[in-house]
Amino acid sequence: MKTLEEVLYPEIAPLRSGRLQVSPLHSIYWETCGHASGIPALFLHGGPGAGISPKSRRFFDPSRYHVVLFDQRGSGQSTPLGETRENTTDLLIEDIERLREMLGVERWLVFGGSWGSTLSLAYAQAHPERCLGLILRGIWLVSDEEIDWWLHGVRYFFPREWEAFAGHIPEAERGDLLGAYSRRMESDDPAVYGPAARAWSRYEGSCLHLLPSPATADAFTEDAVALGVGRLEAHYFRHKAFLTPNQLLQRMDRIRHLPGFIVHGRYDVICPVRYAHALADTWPGVELSIEPDAGHSSYEPGIAAALVNATDRFARHGRFA
């Protein structure tokens, strides 16, 4: 098996970068990379709240793609970090359209993993005429059972990590972990929301990989990550991503004609693989790749290799099958 560095394209600097004021409160950071005349592609990061990184650019052949990446509201280099006000799925979709229009993109390939897969589907269903196709990883459909699994079910695979997560909350409040965390995240006091965000984010970072990755768990406790991930994930979980029940599956008729590729880790405990199958069952012609030796992270070599293979195939043929 190749290493991650062997799988990804070489490091690349942005062609352009800037900030887009999308509301009086929110300013989003954006960048482009690759070939200015290449196939337009949009990269949507996970979380919510995780933000992009230099590695995010490396799933695409820079000689063939013109990639647009941005930090969603409250995430990464966008400001204010961790802000939940004026932060909904519909507003993120509006931001994507503002960015597309500003950059003069007519249509693009939409690429997103985890929460990014959720937002990719919601965006494509709202604006199918703007999409060339979709590459999705780590499917999250925002059902009640998926949210309950994240809050409680992961303990069957990562018991100590879950105990640390639940242990941040006093025992009397543990019957409603989401409510207890949400109350703390919504506080205006950094001494209250900061530790809660770090406990939440560390829990997620500890469970991303098939094999333990202490460095990832540590990175998820840094404020630049934790405040976005902790506060925004609790916010979006509490509001069920501002979607109606089963919305993403019910609206698949709007995008079934688009070419699609889904990759999912067989041992993904953050977003269990059954939901990738549920999505594929509604999408005739989509290619579903289940990686046998991977968890949730896009930076596990098997998942990264499948994603790079998908972008390469789309660049050659305009489809995946």
All structural domains of the chain, each given as residue ranges with its CATH number in brackets, are 4-141+242-317 (3.40.50.1820), 144-241 (no CATH)
pLDDT per position as a tens digit, 249-278: 999 999 999 999 999 999 999 999 999 999
Average of per-residue pLDDT across 186-203: 96
Catalytic residue check, 117: no
CA distance 52 to 46: 8
Q: Give the phi and the psi of residue 63 in degrees, each rounded to 5.
A: -85, -10
Q: By three-state DSSP, how is residue 312 classified?
A: helix
Structure tokens at 27: 């300013």
Catalytic residue check, 317: no
Residue 223's pLDDT is what?
Answer: 87
What percent of the chain shows pLDDT beyond 90?
A: 94
CA distance 183 to 173: 11
Q: How far is CA 259 from CA 161, 275, 313, in A?
A: 38, 19, 11
CA distance 78 to 70: 8
Q: Which of 193, 237, 201, 251 is nearest to 221 (CA)?
A: 201
Do 310 and 286 contact (CB within 8 A), yes or no?
no
Average of per-residue pLDDT across 202-209: 96
Catalytic residue among 209, 296, 297, 298: 296
Q: With a cut of 80, say whether residue 69 has pLDDT above it.
A: yes
Count Cβ neighbours within 10 Å for each residue of 145-164 and write b for 16 or more, e otherwise: ebbebbbeebbeebeebbee
CA distance 92 to 223: 22
Q: With a cut of 80, say whether residue 1 has pLDDT above it.
A: no
H-assigned helices in the chain: 4-7, 89-103, 115-126, 144-152, 159-167, 177-185, 190-206, 214-219, 223-238, 247-250, 274-280, 301-317
Structure tokens at 73: 């509201």
Extract long-range pairs of 5-9: CB within 8 Å, 24+ residues apart. 7/301, 7/304, 7/305, 7/308, 8/55, 8/58, 8/59, 8/304, 8/308, 9/57, 9/58, 9/59, 9/60, 9/61, 9/62, 9/308
Do 7 and 308 contact (CB within 8 A), yes or no?
yes
Catalytic residue among 268, 289, 297, 298: 268
Type and span of the H or E element at 261:
strand 260-265
Do 78 and 28 contact (CB within 8 A), yes or no?
yes
CA distance 240 to 229: 15
Bond from prior residue into 48 cis (ω within 30 degrees of 0): yes
pLDDT per position as a tens digit, 278-317: 999 999 999 999 999 999 999 999 999 999 999 999 999 9
Catalytic residue among 56, 78, 114, 298: 114
Residue 95's pLDDT is what?
Answer: 98
Structure tokens at 211: 């094999």
Band of pLDDT at residue 319, cut at 50, 70 and 90: confident
Q: What is the pTM of this model?
A: 0.97
Catalytic residue check, 296: yes
pLDDT per position as a tens digit, 98-140: 999 999 999 999 999 999 999 999 999 999 999 999 999 999 9
Side-chain half-sphere CA neighbours of 183 within 13 A: 9
